[in-house]
Structure 1
Amino acid sequence: MNPGNPKKPEAPGDAPPPADPLAPLRTRAYAVLLILTAVLGVPLAAGAFGFLQLTGHLQHWLYSSLPVALGFHTAPVWWPLPVLALAGIVVGACIRYLPGTSGHEPAEGFKMTGAPGGAELPGIAVAAIVSIGFGAVIGPEAPLVALGGGAAALVIRLLKPAADARTVSVVGAAGSFAAISTLLGSPLTGAFLLMEASGLSGATLEIALLPGLVASGIGALIFVGLGSWTGLGAVSLTIAHPPHASSPTAAEFGWALVLGVGCALFGFALRRCALTLRRPVPRARLWLTPVAGLAVAGLAIAYAEGTGHAASDVLFSGQSGLSPLIANSAGYSVGALVLLLACKGLAYSVSMAAFRGGPVFPSLFLGGAAGLMLSHAAGLSEAAGVAMGIGAMSVAMLGLPMTSVLLAALLLGGAGLTSLPLVIVAVVVSHVLSVRLAAPHPAPAAPAPTPVRSGAP
């Protein structure tokens, strides 16, 4: 006991000082974690680059090289039918027989559900490669997030078997960041997508964000470097030659309201259709998935026969089709764009119900097509229509408003930034209406019992 420095007795109501939520950032273990995620970013980004190149070359081989090799001048109109039926057989078998569920259900939207186990990764990879490569209307972002996160979590479990759940979660998230680092046009867009979808905030977000940003930056360098070294080119959704944009006008703010409402209603219909079609699939997946593939092929054939445009407009995720659609917009009449929206929208719903992949890319394509369609009307420029359509449709399908605004701004470059005020209006309107439409209806209240009078006979 030190009488010169008497200890003040604690009052009964005194509470201990609050723990510092940022204390993990000051530890040596966290610095080691940052280095580990930077190192992991290299192979994970290279694997994601290979995944995207594989699916792209598979699409070209199946729909261009193989028909020619079999003696056709070009792919016959019926060609998508056997290709997508075979895709349904393979994907259905993966989901039924391989460990896990071969990825999450795309009909449920883009979700961050944690890194999958190592045993689930083969099923996720095969189902996604076949779904995307064979022509289903589904995107690559969700499988890449799952594969990147699962591979990173598997590595940390092997290197540090005693790692706690929080460390595994942070490393898994960093792997997901690396896997989609430049797929959406910029590492920043992918970071926004994952942060907003995860729902993290405050100090927890900061602790998880820094390793993710490090892995994402390293991954972006790998994507660019591999595209140059291999001669295969970069893999990104960024629109190569966006239309010219001028300052927003009062009429275009009115069109922002129209696009916001229209995309919310269209997105609600597509989600409801996908969820309805999905209900019987788990009970008979082995034959309903091939039927879904035939339905997607039939919609693509109907569009090609009805418009004279390529069936590829309806098939695939839209990742590589959005730039050509915008560049050749003069060749698409209003009627052709309406039929494109109807056929690709239905194919999108069917694909989400039965195949495996992500919901982001087809929503961007549909939004861009909707904006092009409305730009035929007076008072709406092509650039503003495409930018607002991309933002409004993506938020209707994903429910992520910040990411949707950023997607429209970055994918269109300067045109997107010029149209940003219009995009914000369209996204807000679409998001608010989508939330209202998706709200569960309260069950009707039970009628109150009739009071019994005392003394009644």
Structure 2
Amino acid sequence: MPDQEPLGSLSVRTLLVMSLPALMIGVLSALVLWGLERIAEVLQTGLWETAPDALGIPQDSPWLIVAVLTLTGAAVGLVVRFVPGHGGQDSATTELDSPPPPIRAVPSVALAAVLGLAGGVSLGPENPIIAINCAIAVALCARFVRAVPTNVAVLLASAATIGALFGTPVAAALVLTGTVAAVRGGGSLWDKLFLPVAAAAAGAITMRMLGSPALAFDVPAYTGPNAIDLLSGFAIAAVSAGLGIAAAWALPRVHRLFHSLRNPILFTTLGGLVLGLLGVIGGPLTLFKGLEETGELIAHPEDYSAGQLALFAGIKLIALVVAASAGFRGGRIFPAVFIGVAVGLCAHALFPSVPLGLAIACGGMGIVLLATRDGWIALFLGVALTGDIGLLPILCVIVLPTWLLVTRAPLLEVRAPGSPGAAADS
């Protein structure tokens, strides 16, 4: 990120004055997210329900799954190839805090993201929507609120979008703690978090007012801790993180394979075809970004055998790698959560003595810790998935050895040639 020194030296008066643009960025970021998700939902309904019904095609038809995803790949490829802005930066090479694209690229980023979300691609909205909101915030502040520096506008839009995505400003505060702690200048940590939390709170509240559900599912309360839970919880987190490590190892290699075709129309169409075939094998639950599908797994765990849950995790893992490698625009956190939850439920199905909430939380925490390299967001998602704060003490213990497992593992992203760590991906 650009130098963020101005955030560390703001006075109390300046914080109060800048609260208004922070709140406005929060509301605007949530509205953009909500609008793009609604557009994607309408298009999804047309592709997967209205059109098949009109043609007399069953909605779970293998031919439909393959056709829709292949056509989605071709459509995204056309956007990346021909639309000004070219869909923004390849999502496989970006993180949540990557620099935003120029404002002229925003329509193409939005179009590519909506097509992927509607078409069933196994990526979430987080990377492109953060890029879009940061670009908009930077452009608006440069035009109308010049007192807000570019780097602060980026930080506020990122925080606002994270708050809107997860339905709470806590997620943004945790994700950005490391970023703002590194800012030079005076003031306490919460002086530096003041404006990002304000923006995140505005984003989260706006999304809740618009009817978006919170990220929490109904799971029996955890009644531990028990000594055996430490061992079983770490085992689940380790398996989940291990799957993430496998994906991180494969991602740059599969990315090079697809991009060796050079033409984005070719490699995204091929990627869509592969995703369609994976969807036929794994079924509809392994399609899309994974949030609603995660809720379906948690709501009805008894409907799936251990073998089915293992299949869901494996297919979704491959689909995540393919989707991220083949030029689709999207984030990796939401599908990773689905994989982790499937791992946890599989462990619970094999060993019913493992508490359900603990299995879900540790499964989600392991792979998210690998994907984000952030213990705070991994802990947050582990608790948020179950809605059980009683799990927090034991998760704080389990996250420590899990961190040692992932800290030297490859990142779940593709580094540009010449960047640190790029040689390790070769």
Give your verdict on TM over 0.5.
yes
Contact 2:167 2:207 in 1 (8 A): no
Structure 1 residues 399 and 109, CA gap change in structure 2 (3 angstroms): farther
Match of 2:215 in 1: 237
For the Cα contact (< 8 Å) 2:255–2:325, is it kept in 1?
A: yes
Could you tell me how far apart the structure 1 residues matched to 2:179 and 2:55 are?
Answer: 45
Contact 1:42/1:219 (8 A) holds in 2: yes
Contact 2:66 / 2:279 at 8 angstroms: preserved in 1? Answer: no
Work out the CA distance in 1 between the residues paired with 2:66 and 2:253.
Answer: 23
C-alpha contact (below 8 Å) 1:185/1:238 kept by paired residues:
no
The equivalent of 1:8 in structure 2 is none
Residue 186 (structure 1) aligned to one of 168, 173, 187: 168
User: What is the SS of the residue equivalent to 1:113?
Assistant: coil
Contact 1:77 1:301 in 2 (8 A): yes
Q: Out of 157, 176, 184, which is 2:142 matched to?
A: 157
Residue 408 of structure 2 is aligned to residue 436 of structure 1: yes
The aligned residue for residue 10 of structure 1 is none
Q: 1:268 aligns with which of 230, 242, 245?
A: 245
Does residue 320 of structure 2 align to residue 343 of structure 1?
no
SS at match of 2:124: coil
1:431–1:206 distance in 2 versus 1, CA, 3 Å? same
Separation in 2 of the partners of 1:208 and 1:87?
42
Cα drift, residue 263 of structure 1? 2.0
The runs of at least 4 aligned residues of structure 1 exceeding 6 Å deviation read 439-443
| Matched residue, 2:334 | 361
- Work out whether 1:291 is the aligned partner of 2:270: yes
Instruction: Tell me whether 1:370 sits opposite 2:375 in the alignment.
Output: no
Q: Which residue of 2 aligns with 1:25?
A: 11
Within 5 Å, which residues of 2 pair with 1:170-185? Answer: 170-185=152-167
Distance in 1, matches of 2:206 and 2:422, equals 48
Give the whole-Å Cα distance in 1 for the aligned partners of 2:61 and 2:294.
23
SS of the residue corresponding to residue 291 of structure 2 reads: coil
* Aligned equivalents of 1:290, 1:101: Cα separation in 2: 16
Counterpart residue number, 1:9: none
The verdict on how the C-alpha distance between 1:54 and 1:196 changes in structure 2, with shifts beyond 3 A counting, is: farther
Q: Identify the range of structure 1 (168-177 vs 400-409) with the bigger mean alpha-carbon deviation.
A: 168-177
Structure 2 counterpart of 1:330, which letter?
Answer: E
Task: Supply the distance in 2 between the matched residues of 1:221 and 1:140 (Cα, whole angstroms).
Answer: 19
User: How many residue pairs are counted as aligned between the two chains?
Assistant: 405
**Deviation (angstroms), 1:77:** 2.1
Equivalent residues in 2 for 1:217-228, closer than 5 Å: 217-227=201-211
TM-score, normalised via structure 1 length: 0.81
Does the 8 A contact of 1:183 with 1:236 survive in 2? no
Alignment partners' CA distance in 2, 1:319 and 1:395: 17
Cα distance between partner residues in 2 of 1:60 and 1:177 = 30
* Offset, 1:144: 1.7
- Report the equivalent of 1:302: 281
- With over 3 angstroms needed to count, the CA separation of the structure-2 counterparts of 1:366 and 1:199, relative to structure 1, is farther
Q: Which position in structure 1 is the counterpart of 2:391?
A: 419
Query: How far apart are residue 441 of structure 1 and its match?
Result: 11
Alpha-carbon deviations, 1:161-193, whole Å to 9, x = none?
xx48x7111122212222332321422113322
Distance 1:87 1:442 in 2: 33
Task: Give me the whole-angstrom Cα distance separating, in 1, the residues matched to 2:113 and 2:184.
Answer: 34
- Partner letter of residue 230 of structure 2? F
User: Is the contact made by 1:115 and 1:169 (CA closer than 8 Å) also made in structure 2?
Assistant: no
Are the equivalent residues in 1 in contact too, given 2:72–2:116 (CA < 8 A)? yes
* Counterpart position of 1:256: 233
* Alignment RMSD (CA, Å): 2.7
| CA–CA separation in structure 2 for the residues paired with 1:432 and 1:61 | 46
Report the Cα offset of residue 26 of structure 1.
4.2
- Range with bigger deviation, 191-200 or 47-56: 191-200
Going from structure 1 to structure 2, the CA distance change for 1:441 and 1:67 (only over 3 Å counts) comes to: closer
Q: What is the rounded CA distance, in whole Å, between the counterparts of 1:102 and 1:207 in structure 2?
A: 36
In the alignment, the residues of structure 1 paired with residue 89 and residue 138 of structure 2 have an alpha-carbon distance, to the nearest angstrom, of 17
What secondary structure sits across from 1:79 in the alignment? helix
- Offset, 1:155: 0.4
Q: CA deviation at 1:353?
A: 0.7
Contact 1:118 1:150 in 2 (8 A): yes
Counterpart for residue 209 of structure 1: 193
Code of the residue aligned with 2:220 in structure 1: it is P
**Equivalent residue letter for 1:186:** T
Question: Would the aligned equivalents of 1:318 and 1:365 in 2 still touch at CA under 8 Å?
Answer: yes
Higher CA-based Rg: 1
Higher helix share: 2
Alpha-carbon separation, structure 2, partners of 1:48 and 1:441: 32
Give the direction of change, closer, same or farther, for the CA distance of 1:153–1:387 in structure 2 (3 Å limit): same
CA gap of 1:249–1:349, structure 2 versus 1, over 3 A, is same
Cα shift at 1:130:
0.8
- Kindly provide the amino acid, as one letter, of the partner of residue 373 in structure 1: C
CA spacing shift, 1:254–1:101, aligned 2, 3 Å: farther
- Change beyond 3 A, Cα 1:196–1:145: farther
Q: Structure 1, unaligned stretches of length 5 or more?
A: 1-18, 228-233, 304-310, 444-457
The TM-score normalised by the length of structure 2 is 0.87
The whole-number CA distance in structure 1 between the counterparts of 2:110 and 2:6 is 40
Matches within 5 A, 1:66-85: 66-85=51-70
Query: Which of 29, 32, 49 is matched with 1:44 structurally?
Result: 29
Instruction: Report the CA distance between 1:134 and its aligned residue.
Output: 0.6
Q: Give the Å deviation of 1:99.
A: 4.3
8 Å contact kept, 1:390–1:404:
yes
**Equivalent of residue 131 in structure 1, options 113, 116, 137:** 116
2:185 and 2:236 map into 1 onto residues whose CA distance is 37
Residues in 2 aligned to 1:441 and 1:78: alpha-carbon distance in whole angstroms: 39
8 Å contact from structure 2 (residues 8, 184) kept in 1: no
State the SS of the aligned residue for 2:163: coil
Pick one of 89, 103, 106 that aligns with 1:118.
Answer: 103
Distance in 1 between the 2:290 and 2:198 partners?
Answer: 29
Match of 2:46 among 61, 72, 79: 61
Matched, 1:281 2:265: no
CA distance 1:198–1:109, change in 2 (3 Å): farther
Shift of 1:108: 4.2
Once the two structures are superposed, residues 413-457 of structure 1 have per-residue CA deviations (whole angstroms, 9 ceiling, x without a partner) of 12xx222233234333332212233396999xxxxxxxxxxxxxx
